[in-house]
Chain A
Amino acid sequence: MTGPDASGWARVPLAIAGAGFRRYSTYRQATVAGAFTNVVFGFMRCYVLLSVAGVAGEAGGYDRAQLATFVWVGQGLLAVVNFWNLLELAERVRSGDVVSDLLRPVDLMTTYVATDVGRAGYAMLTRFVVPVAVGMLAFDLYLPANPVTYLAFAGSVLLAVVICSACRFLVGLTAFWLLDVRGVSMLWVFAAGAGSGLYFPLPLLPDWLETLLWVATPFPALLQAPLDVLVERGPAWPLLAGQAAWLAGSVGLARVVQRRALRRLVIQGG
């Protein structure tokens, strides 16, 4: 790395993201195994949702092609957004290793979020492509005709990745108080699975519950939002605006909690 210059503020996060990308690109076999699993779940959920659409050919306002796209692209995005795998932070707090993170001249949250964005970039090129390709071969997928939709989708995915990183960073931060975060992680993992649209598109839920999820939880912003942007369910801008609000909320909260956590830090024998 060269010394600080005019573009200094972005240099460090970008370098960390690049390192994250390279680090995860070495886990090739795990990538293959994970993509295989996504494909199996893709077939399963796709058949189930198409069966729900049944003879009417429509469920929750999605036609058959939109449902198939929803499932397969959802399986692809699962590894990109990656809400099921928590950051290493909690384990490093428990073991005391977090101290060596804090000795570095880079902010704790910047390190973890940037690494995760790099990981997401690698997942986008591998884990995302495989299920989407298989889905296209096996089913009729909905391909938006408007090129702007693809741009909006890319933006929406990026927002989802950062919101998810910030939220998982928050889950990890609870380790400063709880040490053992398995209970909190489990709450996060199940709520994220059910509330993000992974199991079924959220419009299948009663209206009040769907609205509650959108307004009160970040989960729809992680998967449902980018998928709705892609299958062109209404205009993209309200979805992107909602994600931007959750980005501000989750990053802001993570900043506050990090400050309090570090003030509270007790080094565990490190």
Chain B
Amino acid sequence: MASPYWHLLVAQVRSQTQYRLSFAVELVFSTVLTLLDVATVFVLFSVNDSLGGFGGGEVFLMVGISALGFPLADLSVGNVERLRVYVRGGLFDAVLLRPLSALGQLLAMDLSARRAGRVVQGLAIYVLALVVAPVAWSPAAAVFAVLAPLSAAVFFGAIFVGGATVAFWWIESGEFANAFTYGGRDFTSYPMTVFGGLFRRVFAYALGFAFVAYLPALALLGRSDPLGVPDWLRWCSPIVALLAAGLAALFWRTGVRHYRSTGS
């Protein structure tokens, strides 16, 4: 079954590399320019050497987990956000007619090859963060250092799929999902102590974004959560990520069943 997806993927990569100069410019720019997102955190630290009670190295580790997890998810499932284009144009009918998984086809058909550069960049940031941050190294921490960004990627992947699925009910949802995907990436780059009120309760705990980078970073740093989350929960990001993926899959299935063609 892997081979039709593989052909779709290869066709995509080939078509995207046709305008060679433009593709090269895009690849380089997307690799270098997304550093500007990370640079924001450095600018903020140039003003104040602690943010929400955390030092530069500690926040850098949170940035690192998020900066690697997000592009991994963006590369593999980020293009699902084009679903609303398919639903609006009635193209999703064609997707459903083929004897392949609908989600699998969407992911393979719109893969954006230039996003690969950001994964490399994210990996570099994360490795640097592990060196710079005062990590309490132990065998468990070493394993978790690998698991944490992968869990973050799975979590963001679930957010991407969940956000796109909204289009089955709300075609004109436009930027709505961005609040949780790109918003989630920015949110997870900071300690939860920075935020407050209802906003923190909803984003950090109800939606689970605290588990993406903040709590895993605390586990790696050997610090307890000043907001009182029990220590054992800091290690639970893989479980939360799988839970989120399960919920997203369930939501997706409901959405596909609910799909009614626009008829155009």
Interface residues of A (CB under 8 A from B): 27-30, 33-34, 36-37, 40-41, 43-44, 47-49, 51-54, 56, 59-60, 138, 178-184, 186-187, 190-191, 193-194, 199-200, 204-206
Query: Contact string, B132-159, partner A, CB cutoff 8 A, digits 1/0?
Result: 0000000000000000000000000000
A48, B33: Cβ atoms under 8 Å? no
Chain B residue nearest to A49 (CB atoms) is: B44
Using CB atoms, name the residue of chain A closest to B200: A47
Residue of A30, A183, A186, A206 touching B175 (CB-CB under 8 A):
A30
Interface pair A52/B172, CB less than 8 Å apart: no
Of A28, A43, A56, the most chain B CB neighbours within 10 A belong to: A43
Q: Is the CB of B194 within 8 A of A182?
A: no
The one of B23, B46, B186, B200 that contacts A41, using a Cβ cutoff of 8 Å: B186
B246 interfacial by beta-carbon distance below 8 Å: no
A163 to B21, CA, bound (A): 28
Do B173 and A180 touch across chains, with their CB atoms under 8 A apart?
Answer: no
Query: Which residue of A is nearest B190, CB measured?
Result: A48
The count of A-to-B residue pairs whose CB atoms sit within 8 angstroms is: 111
Contacts known (A37-B175, A44-B186, A199-B40); A29 close to B48, Cβ less than 8 A: no
Closest to A43 in B: B199
Enumerate chain A residues within 8 angstroms of B186, measured Cβ to Cβ.
41, 44
| 16 A-B pairs with C-beta separation under 8 A | A29-B173, A29-B174, A33-B172, A36-B176, A40-B179, A47-B194, A52-B44, A52-B47, A52-B51, A56-B48, A138-B197, A178-B19, A179-B22, A183-B21, A183-B24, A190-B36
| Complex CA distance for A33 and B172, rounded to whole angstroms | 8
Do A183 and B26 contact each other (CB < 8 Å), given the known contacts A44-B195, A52-B48?
yes
Contact yes or no, B47 A180, CB < 8 A = no
Confirm or deny: B259 has a beta carbon within 8 angstroms of a beta carbon on chain A: no
Q: How far is the CB of A114 from chain B (nearest CB, A)?
A: 24
User: Are B22 and A178 interface neighbours, CB within 8 A?
Assistant: yes
Confirm or deny: B55 has a beta carbon within 8 angstroms of a beta carbon on chain A: no
Q: Beyond the given A47-B194, A179-B19, A199-B43, please list 9 additional residue pairs across the A-B interface where CB-CB is below 8 A.
A: A37-B179, A40-B179, A41-B186, A44-B186, A51-B194, A183-B23, A190-B29, A194-B36, A206-B46
Within 8 A of A (CB), among B1-54: 19, 21-26, 29-30, 33-34, 36, 39-40, 43-44, 46-48, 50-52
B170 interfacial contact with A, CB 8 Å: yes
Nearest residue in B to A85 (C-beta to C-beta)? Answer: B175
Q: In residues 174-222 of chain B, which contact A (Cβ within 8 Å)?
A: 174-176, 178-180, 183, 186-187, 190, 194-197, 199-200
Note all chain B residues with C-beta closer than 8 A to A41.
179, 183, 186
Given contacts A178-B22, A187-B33, contact A60 B47 (CB under 8 A): yes
Residue pair A37, B176 in contact (C-beta under 8 Å): yes
Q: Which residues of B contact A (CB under 8 A)?
A: 19, 21-26, 29-30, 33-34, 36, 39-40, 43-44, 46-48, 50-52, 170-176, 178-180, 183, 186-187, 190, 194-197, 199-200
Partner of A200, one of B22, B44, B52, B194: B44
* Complex CA–CA separation, A156 to B47 (angstroms): 28
Contact of A204 with B43 at beta-carbon distance under 8 Å, contacts A59-B48, A183-B25, A190-B34 already known: yes
Bound: A205/B199 CA distance, A: 28
Nearest A-chain residue to B187, judged by Cβ: A44
In the complex, A123→B36 CA distance in Å? 27
Contact residues in B for A59 (Cβ distance below 8 Å): 47-48
* A190 CA to B44 CA, complexed, in Å: 18
A49–B194 Cα distance when bound, in Å, is 9
Q: Residue on A with the closest CB to B53?
A: A51
Across the interface, do B194 and A183 meet the contact criterion of CB distance under 8 Å? no
Specify which chain A residues have a CB less than 8 angstroms from the CB of B52 in the assembled complex: 51
CB-CB under 8 A from B199, the residues of chain A are 43-44, 47
Contacts of B195 in A (CB 8 A): 43-44, 47
Write out the residue numbers on chain A whose beta carbons fall within 8 Å of the beta carbon of B200: 47
A186: nearest chain-B partner, CB-CB = B29
Contact pick for A182, options B26, B176, B180, CB 8 Å: B26
Is B34 within 8 A of A200, CB to CB? no
CA distance A255 to B89 in the complex (A): 36
Residues of chain A contacted by B171 (CB below 8 angstroms): 29
Contact call B172/A30, Cβ cutoff below 8 A: yes
By the criterion CB–CB under 8 Å, are A182 and B44 in contact? no
A27 touches B172 (CB 8 A): yes
Closest to A181 in B: B22
Cβ of B19 and Cβ of A51 under 8 Å apart? no
Shortest CB distance B239–A (Å): 26
Contacting residue for B26 out of A44, A186, A191, A194, CB 8 A: A186
A193 x B178 contact (CB < 8 A): no
In the complex, what's the smallest C-beta–C-beta distance from B79 to chain A, in angstroms?
14
Q: Which residues of B contact A40 (CB under 8 A)?
A: 179-180, 183
Residue of chain B at shortest CB distance from A209: B43
B168, chain A: closest CB distance, angstroms: 14
